[in-house]
Structure 1
Amino acid sequence: MNHLQGKKSSDKEGKSQSSLVSKLFRASKPSPPKPDLKKETSELETNDSQTDKQLETESKIKSLGIEKDLRSDMVKMEQFFQKLGKKPNSSSINLNNCGLTLDDIAELVALLPLLPDLEELDISWNNFIGGALKPIMLQLHHVSKLKIIRLNNCRLTVDDVLELGEVLKTSPDLEELNLSWNSCVGGNLSQILQGIQEGSKVQILRLIDCDLTAEDAASVGHVLLLMQNLKVFDLSINRNIGCNLTVIAQGLKNTPWLNILKLHTCGLTQDSIQILGTAFGHLSELRELDLSGNKELGGGFKDSAAHLAHLKYLQVLDLHQCSLLEEDVASLTQVIPLLSSLQELDLSANKKVGSSSENLLSRLRFLPELATLLINGCALGKDAFAALAEASMYLPALKILDLSWNKYVGGNLNMLLETLKLSAALQVLRLRSCSLVAEDMTFLASVMQTGHLAKLQQLDLSYNDNISNEGWAVFSQNVPFLKELTELDISLRPANFRECGLWFGHLLNGLTKLPLLSELGIQRWRIPEPQEEELEYFNQEHKRNIHFDYGGFQ
């Protein structure tokens, strides 16, 4: 009975493998009329053993072939990335600004099928991508894990744009799309965004300088309704957006997790703040708002600045070059103190800020976390500068202060004495073209001596041509106190050349005591032969990696 059970078991197993066995072996001999069960069982066991060995051999051969192919593919991949100065990565292709040629693109297309786990594709700033994107996109149809696509400045064509739209339909996990600096996106954006589906996972959408039209603005506004996970939205340098902002504002109401909104140079008008304001109440997570470069925005804050008060956690507010009027400044005076989380404020290139900003600048004291204050080119007057000096004493977190292009600072820098003493965290101080004089340099040197600028890393004193040689001398002698300084600029104005005095020797001597200095701007200073020899000696003797930006000796 045991022999019979063994036969039935073997027969069953043999039937399950019959198709494979028929391919590997010839038919067995006919059984005699009275079979010998022991012999038959033995033969079956022998056949099974032969089958197992054959399958094992075939598996090994196949495995060796696969491994050989994989090794060959890996070598090709390593060679491709190595010639472009990159390292191969199965989940990320970053060939940003690699000067790809058409041959490189062909190689890339051939390699893409070997990367089924690809999550990031960045081929930005490669001119030859334009018109050659289709084969790449065809391969991406089979990459189901793709999360990031960056195609900045690739000179995309209309055909490229249309093919990209098809790819987005098969990329449900996409989290970032960046098509900035591709003019052909303009007028064709709807063809791309049609790939965005309900419940989209996209968190970052950047379309900077894409020549977007009013119709594109409507398209992006409608697709925002599907992008509840959006965190970064940048439409900067698209001047036709402002005329169709209503649809975008409506769409923004459906992006509750938005952290960054950038509309720099988008043709915004006086009505734009009122339109955007309707969405601000829905953007409780907004951390950065950039409305800069919109020169027709002036007057828009007069009755609508209150909308900003909804952004209680706002950390960055950029309003530079917005042609703010006095009534705008008056309204912002009431609102900005309510933004207690503000860390960066840029009011630069708004002339009216300097003539009517006494109250606004005095209110900065209510922003204890303010780390960056940019008010260059604001035509600060006496009262405004005095208000700023007083308020800045209450900004212990201040790291970056830019007062450039404000002439009143010259001769009055001492008004910032208490600020410079108390701002122990100050790392960047820019005083370009502030009409500084020797007295200002003496004051600055005294502050340096007391160690209150010990954390300073960047100091810009350029375009202050009225500083005497005595002023530069006292400053140069005290430069060693700025132990953490990495950049120093004392360049003169264009076309205004001047002889270096003996102070240049003091400056070079001071540089030997600044171990972190890497950049020194001395443009348009004429360096006499003795000082030129000192400079050459400095470079040879100290072997410091300092870039002397002098534009050639004159």
Structure 2
Amino acid sequence: MSQTRKKTSSEGETKPQTSSVNKFLRGSKAESRKENNDLKTTDSQPSNWIQKTAPSETGEALEMIPELEELNLSWNSKVGGNLPLILQKFQKGSKIQMLKLVDCTLTSEDGTFLGQLLPMLQSLEVLDLSINRDIGGSLNSIAQGLKSTSNLKVLKLHSCGLSQKSVKILDAAFRYLAELRKLDLSCNKDLGGGFEDSSAQLVMLKHLQVLDLHQCSLTADDVMSLTFALLAWKGAWKQESPSSMLGRWLVCAQVIPLLSNLQELDLSANKKMGNSSENLLSRLRFLPALKSLVINNCALESETFTALAETSVHLSALEVFNLSWNKCVGGNLKLLLETLKLSMSLRVLRLSSCSLVTEDVVLLASVIQMGHLAKLRKLDLSYNDSICDAGWTMFCQNVRFLKELIELDISLRPSNFRDCGQWFRHLLCAVIKLPQITEIGMKRWILPASQEEELECFDQDKKRSIHFDHGGFQ
């Protein structure tokens, strides 16, 4: 993926200018691949082009591309402290549409400069400042600059050292970002509590499609405020005890969805919301466009899971459903029975480490046998060690009906090793009838010599590229 892009009428006109700055703006292949990865995984090494280039020379190189539309300087640590020198040539009326500065060790001073620069970038649509933990101190300047970027569609501030006060600062800028489609505030652990009195302007983001708040230490009052931000009630209100947002309002009227275009919601790894998200989860049914719901590792309790199960029946567009690491699912998968039957669009189902029991897997197998979940492409049942061999046998006998399945994970926990039972033969028979499957996770399942031979024969006879990731042979 090129780090720069320039619109021209012919390919020949582009090459001289592009090649003249190529030594400054070329990234490694690893970096290019990283651009397409989820920002939740950020362990790649930075490229080294700017380490070997004077910041002033880089600024001169950028000046040679006056119609630059995309600039990605991500994973270059020496950008930090030098951003004014690098971007000093940007003038008002710049055509830049995408600016990515992920993991660039930006300083608070860089953030202040960026805030002053943003009003010059009237065409900016994508701004990614993720993994720059020191820019939280200059958020006032950045937010002030954001008020001038009315065309902005993507704003990513993942792991930027944001605090409770940061929510109020950003809240004031949201009213100017009416075109925003994606907002990522994830992995800011000090953000918790900031939404309690500051989410009013979030409702101004009428076109918002993606909201990512995973690992933000959300509190019970945060969740209640977000409930009101996502959905409004038309009609009477009655004020209750002011001691807590949870008891502040009594809803007496019709629900009106405010963020009706929301397609992806990630609230995962917010454990404090586990016993207080019933209102929020029960009202997600009024978001008809929701395609991805990720609430793994939220310490959901039985009441909240029940509310979620009742809501999920109404999410007909749902494609991704991640409930992993919520122990309350175990023994209660039957609450999702109607959802699993009606989910015609579901592509990804993750139930890892949910304390599933044999009855849960048997129920899932019966749903699959009836022809439901036909569009499923990824199924994660890993880290559910309480399922007996009979349960796995029932599941493996019916997994063959998932014709579009690509990935299946039934791995055990790192602390547990078990011998594969007779169900492994049923799994091999099922795989023959799954034309698209490429990956089967079986970590910590030990294959005896006889089953090892079966797997080797399978690989030779079928001549298919299927990776069985198992614990080894015994």
Question: Is the TM-score greater than 0.5?
Answer: yes
1:316 aligns with one of 207, 210, 225: 210
Aligned to 1:530, what secondary structure does the other structure show? Answer: helix
2:371 aligns with one of 451, 459, 463: 451
Deviations 1:412-468 (A, max 9, x none): 001001111111000100001011110001100111011111000000001111110
- Structure 2 residue 290 is the aligned partner of structure 1 residue 347: no
**How many angstroms apart in 2 are the aligned matches of 1:388 and 1:407?**
14
| Other-structure match for 1:537 | 457
Q: Sequence identity of aligned pairs in percent?
A: 61
- Structure 2 residue 472 is the aligned partner of structure 1 residue 552: yes
- Structure 2 residue 186 is the aligned partner of structure 1 residue 292: yes
- Structure 2 residue 149 is the aligned partner of structure 1 residue 255: yes
2:27 aligns with one of 124, 128, 150: 124
User: Quick one: structure 1 residues 158 and 271, their matched pair in 2 at CA, closer, same or farther if it must change by over 3 Å?
Assistant: farther
CA contact (8 A) 2:353 2:383 kept: yes
| Other-structure match for 1:115 | 15
CA contact (8 A) 1:169 1:197 kept: no
- Structure 2 residue 284 is the aligned partner of structure 1 residue 384: no
| Other-structure match for 1:211 | 105
**How many angstroms apart in 1 are the aligned matches of 2:277 and 2:2?**
50
Query: Aligned-pair distance for 1:553?
Result: 2.5
- TM normalised by structure 1 equals 0.74
RMSD: 2.1
**How many angstroms apart in 2 are the aligned matches of 1:179 and 1:552?**
42
**How many angstroms apart in 1 are the aligned matches of 2:366 and 2:274?**
28
1:439 aligns with one of 336, 346, 359: 359
Aligned to 2:275, what secondary structure does the other structure show? Answer: helix
**How many angstroms apart in 2 are the aligned matches of 1:435 and 1:515?**
30
User: Quick one: structure 1 residues 376 and 528, their matched pair in 2 at CA, closer, same or farther if it must change by over 3 Å?
Assistant: same
2:223 aligns with one of 306, 325, 329: 329
The 5 A counterparts of 1:509-528 are: 509-528=429-448
Deviations 1:100-157 (A, max 9, x none): xxxxxxxxxxxx9993264995621279xxxxxxxxxxxxxxxxxxxxxxx9622522
The 5 A counterparts of 1:216-235 are: 216-235=110-129
CA contact (8 A) 1:305 1:331 kept: yes
| Other-structure match for 2:85 | 191
CA contact (8 A) 1:152 1:179 kept: no
**How many angstroms apart in 2 are the aligned matches of 1:237 and 1:490?**
33
- Structure 2 residue 189 is the aligned partner of structure 1 residue 269: no
**How many angstroms apart in 2 are the aligned matches of 1:232 and 1:275?**
20
| Other-structure match for 2:41 | none
| Other-structure match for 2:238 | none
**How many angstroms apart in 2 are the aligned matches of 1:176 and 1:160?**
21
Deviations 1:371-398 (A, max 9, x none): 0000000011011000000011111000
Q: What code does the residue aligned with 2:434 have? A: L
User: Quick one: structure 1 residues 430 and 241, their matched pair in 2 at CA, closer, same or farther if it must change by over 3 Å?
Assistant: same
Task: Pick the structure with greater CA Rg.
Answer: 1
| Other-structure match for 1:156 | 50
Displaced runs of 4 or more, over 3 A? 92-95, 112-115, 117-122
- Structure 2 residue 415 is the aligned partner of structure 1 residue 495: yes
Answer 1 or 2: higher relative contact order, Cα 8 Å, separation at least 6. Answer: 2
User: Quick one: structure 1 residues 126 and 459, their matched pair in 2 at CA, closer, same or farther if it must change by over 3 Å?
Assistant: closer
- Structure 2 residue 290 is the aligned partner of structure 1 residue 394: no
**How many angstroms apart in 2 are the aligned matches of 1:152 and 1:287?**
28
Per mean C-alpha deviation after superposition, the further-off stretch among 301-310 and 155-164 is 155-164
**How many angstroms apart in 1 are the aligned matches of 2:456 and 2:289?**
45
If each structure's helix is expressed as a fraction of its own residues, which one has the higher value? 1
What stretches of structure 2 of length at least 5 have no aligned partner? Answer: 5-11, 31-44, 232-257
| Other-structure match for 1:466 | 386
User: Quick one: structure 1 residues 426 and 93, their matched pair in 2 at CA, closer, same or farther if it must change by over 3 Å?
Assistant: closer
Q: What code does the residue aligned with 1:166 have? A: E
CA contact (8 A) 2:99 2:127 kept: yes
Deviations 1:179-219 (A, max 9, x none): 11111000010101101011000000000000001000001
CA contact (8 A) 2:445 2:472 kept: no
Aligned to 1:454, what secondary structure does the other structure show? Answer: coil
| Other-structure match for 1:8 | none
User: Quick one: structure 1 residues 425 and 161, their matched pair in 2 at CA, closer, same or farther if it must change by over 3 Å?
Assistant: same
**How many angstroms apart in 2 are the aligned matches of 1:314 and 1:182?**
30
User: Quick one: structure 1 residues 406 and 245, their matched pair in 2 at CA, closer, same or farther if it must change by over 3 Å?
Assistant: same
Q: What code does the residue aligned with 2:204 have? A: H
